[in-house]
Structure 1
């Protein structure tokens, strides 16, 4: 078998629709995204844990719709008029809990985007009532949105996400190693990211391919 060579290359995430692996855990969310522009009230929320593919779905939708994409923490009232002229996605709304200026900017962006006849996509960890928003008018508008939930991952999705993250790093462990990792790691997207990063670093530092031997070392308590 040819030896896997590892190079310290930049990570380039593949974020096209063809790169999005569909499983029962995310099929409903994908279906709602792809139902654009027929969203109830002109807006949609994608809710899911860190690493679950929310940003990937945002990029899929941005490609479909020509949307602008902005992090909630970067919102200011000054950029609202420009953003509202197009469909717009606001990522990680939970990160502006306790940030009055960003919440006010999102409130105005919500109203102006819909008034312009455009659509709004928002993402966050948990449902909108769990985002910690304390601007009452904004919270009421978030609670009125349809929520597309990214469910806890099944084995197929965990393996697909792990394979994709290795692929983004131009690495290709064999299927037996991937199966071993999925069977023995914590069942979360966050742990997938941790395991992939640690295996990449270990493989690079020791100039060894990613095998079960390295996988066991990363997974050992």
Structure 2
């Protein structure tokens, strides 16, 4: 069932989307609770929210990887990518131990989707499964037309993702570069942070481009090289 759902959605889990590859910063308590839930323990419902680029998708996929390691059946559902499908995708999910739903705000104001989500929540709860959901705002601000959905999402624990500081983002970039066999000095890292948008996804994309070009050109990561590659 786990593989069938994931394949049917056409969404694969990224291999590097693990808890070990996530810099927690001030979100260590959230990671602790997610880890327990992914192992079939702890809170049955976890809801966390934050702005784009803070790693919500990474964390949900990390939960599924962890569940797979524990031989638990799980599925990751990215609502923002599958709104052209039918709400029927929620059918049968109560047979899984873990259901991770990304971007719940996408179905706000869509009655058929809200109702389908409400029913799968109830069925999953009745079967003893775990639900982890993300959105861009707190539950009470989602704008759902079904008030019962909001109350259900608030039954468990709710976290707001705390953004990384610039110093923490620099640490993340340097750690990621090191794992790739790159040498990223603090000076060059600070230059990238100063001249690039500071969403982690954007910073990672910049690092990916630098990795590719430095290998091709056999160049070290210097400020002049970074300027050329990133056109800044």
Which band: TM-score by shorter chain? 0.7 to 0.9
- Within the alignment, does 1:110 sit opposite 2:121 as a pair? yes
Change in 2 beyond 3 A, CA 1:101/1:159:
farther
Change in 2 beyond 3 A, CA 1:77/1:174:
closer
Structure 2 residues without counterparts, runs of 5 or longer = 1-13
What pairs up with 1:71-90 in 2 under 5 angstroms? 71-73=78-80, 74=82, 76-86=86-96, 87-90=98-101
RMSD: 3.1
Change in 2 beyond 3 A, CA 1:193/1:103:
farther
Q: SS in structure 2 opposite 1:35?
A: helix
Change in 2 beyond 3 A, CA 1:60/1:197:
closer
Larger RCO, structure (CA 8 Å, separation 6 or more) = 1
- Per-residue CA deviations over 1:187-212 (Å, capped at 9, x if unaligned) read 443552564477579x48x9584531
Q: TM-score, normalised by structure 1?
A: 0.74
Q: Which residue does the alignment assign to 1:33? A: 34
Q: SS in structure 1 opposite 2:122?
A: helix
Structure 1 residues without counterparts, runs of 5 or longer = 1-11
Change in 2 beyond 3 A, CA 1:77/1:184:
closer
* Structure 1: distance between partners of 2:87 and 2:175: 37
2:54 and 2:161 in contact (8 A); partners too: yes
2:79 and 2:106 in contact (8 A); partners too: yes
The alpha-carbon deviation at position 116 of structure 1 amounts to: 0.8
Q: SS in structure 2 opposite 1:70?
A: strand
Q: Which residue does the alignment assign to 1:69? A: 76
* Structure 2: distance between partners of 1:207 and 1:34: 41
The alpha-carbon deviation at position 128 of structure 1 amounts to: 1.9
* Structure 2: distance between partners of 1:140 and 1:85: 23
Q: SS in structure 1 opposite 2:128?
A: coil
* Structure 2: distance between partners of 1:92 and 1:52: 13
2:174 and 2:184 in contact (8 A); partners too: no
The alpha-carbon deviation at position 122 of structure 1 amounts to: 0.2
